[in-house]
Amino acid sequence: MSGSNGRPPEADTIYDWNLNGERVSPPLRPIEYFDETLRDGIQCPSVQDPPIEAKMEMIRLMSDLGVHHVDVGLPGAGKRAVQDCTVLAEMIRDEGLPIKPTCAARTHANDINPIIAISQTVGIGIEVMAFLGTSPLRLYAESWDAELLEKRTREAVSLAKGAGLQCTFVTEDTVRSHPKLLARLWNAAIEEQADGLCLCDTVGHATPDGVFNLIHYARNIIRAADTDTRIDWHGHNDRGHALPNALMAIEAGADRIHGTVLGMGERVGNTALDLLMVNLKLLGQEDGDLRKLVDLVELASEACHVPIPPAYPVFGHDAFRTGTGVHAAAVIKAQRKGHAWLADRIYSGVPAAWFGREQIIEVGHYSGASNVVAWLQAHDIEATESLVQAVMHKAKSGNRLLEEAEILQVVAEHRV
């Protein structure tokens, strides 16, 4: 069965068990992306704080990709942080970027006042993300009590809102905090006119069930207060749950999802914002052009000195490479059908072209002649039978994929 243009309908070529069966999640609601790369991301011990020029270019790319908010830093950290936050806010203002700047702050005037000063100097609003530890572990270690935390919550939100800035109240380690204390602090923040509540999995403790339970609890408190207070989700990846937790947060009702490029962040990192965008695109929730994602990922990797693992989804070196004969043959046959979309999906759950990548056929010890023919044709080299056999002999005598230079050497020797 084929469509009017000779292309078989996608429903006839892909049966999607994600959408068919007994367990089907409700449609995801639209959310806003909140990038934390330039604040939480660079707090990773192995990450290098990038130069200001790289930060500026990263924000430009984020804006082009449709990221809605970017944390430009924590001015309370010192003079350089203030300078960088100021320069980045000025760039957003001068270039008319639609992305909105935010800054992190402890629930303390020493951190919030520098944000107010930068906002007034630059002349644009900067959202204050005021954070406070709330888990019983933290209260015990710091000798804090509920009265002190409520006082700090009210003072911080009131200070930011009094200066005319948006303010989100951030509870650190929310997923291990007691509901009674959370309710008290959230209600205090709402009474002080906080624009949002940020729920944090600061140490990567949560499972998807925990995310669902927590967000529903927060939604009930907001509903009872009869406000439209926003809910943010900020997750870490210590148990490897960051990405599925973020998707569950959307299903549960979060309005903004925080993440970092390549998932960089403290310990093992945060939700990978790039992979979240990829998944929302595949789920039909993201309709923007994401081909510049590869540029953002590669820039962040280089500027922050964070190598991209070869097997990293979509953006890793091996994400769309195959040297296996059976796989390569299927890709080649799909290409010969005349449908680029088919070749991009026959052995890939992610269409490479959607994200600025392409399917690549390599040659190695598991390859067949079809790999060699495809490689030679891709490099505008005539694939004669003798040359194909010569390259095959070289490949089969090794135990890995051949490098381009190795194949070209065989080609040169064959010509001689």
The answer, yes or no, to whether residue 387 has pLDDT greater than 50, is yes
Burial 226-243 (b: 16+ CB within 10 A, else e): eeebbbbbbbbbbeebbb
What would the mean pLDDT of 141-156 be, rounded to a whole number?
A: 97
Q: What is the pLDDT of residues 211-254, one digit of tens each?
A: 999 999 999 999 999 999 999 999 999 999 999 999 999 999 99
Say yes or no: 233 and 335 in one domain: no
Report how far Cα 346 is from the mean position of its chain's Cα atoms. Answer: 26
DSSP secondary structure letters along 113-130: HHHHHHHHHHTS--EEEE
Is 16 within the bounds of a domain?
A: no
Write out the residue range of the structural domain in which residue 362 sits.
321-415
Tokens at 210, concatenated? 């925990």
The answer, yes or no, to whether residue 4 has pLDDT greater than 50, is no
CATH assignment at residue 205: 3.20.20.70
Cα angle at 10 between 7 and 14, to 5 degrees? 130
Say yes or no: 329 and 294 in one domain: no
Say yes or no: 169 and 297 in one domain: yes
Is the Cβ–Cβ distance between 301 and 238 less than 8 Å? no
Count of C-beta atoms within a 10 Å radius of residue 27: 9
pLDDT tier at 11 (50, 70, 90 boundaries)?
low
Say yes or no: 219 and 148 in one domain: yes
Q: What is the pLDDT of residues 263-287, one digit of tens each?
A: 999 999 999 999 999 999 999 999 9
Say yes or no: 155 and 255 in one domain: yes
Say yes or no: 272 and 400 in one domain: no
Tokens at 228, concatenated? 């439209």
Tokens at 113, concatenated? 């006042």
d(CA 19, CA 42): 37
Is 309 within the bounds of a domain?
A: no
Residue 363's SS3 state is coil
Higher confidence at residue 213 or residue 372? Answer: 213
Is 398 within the bounds of a domain?
A: yes
Counted domains in the chain: 2
d(CA 215, CA 34): 17
> The whole model's pTM is what?
0.91
Say yes or no: 74 and 139 in one domain: yes
Say yes or no: 213 and 297 in one domain: yes
Of 236, 269, 304, which marks where a domain is finished? 304
Say yes or no: 298 and 390 in one domain: no
d(CA 109, CA 106): 8
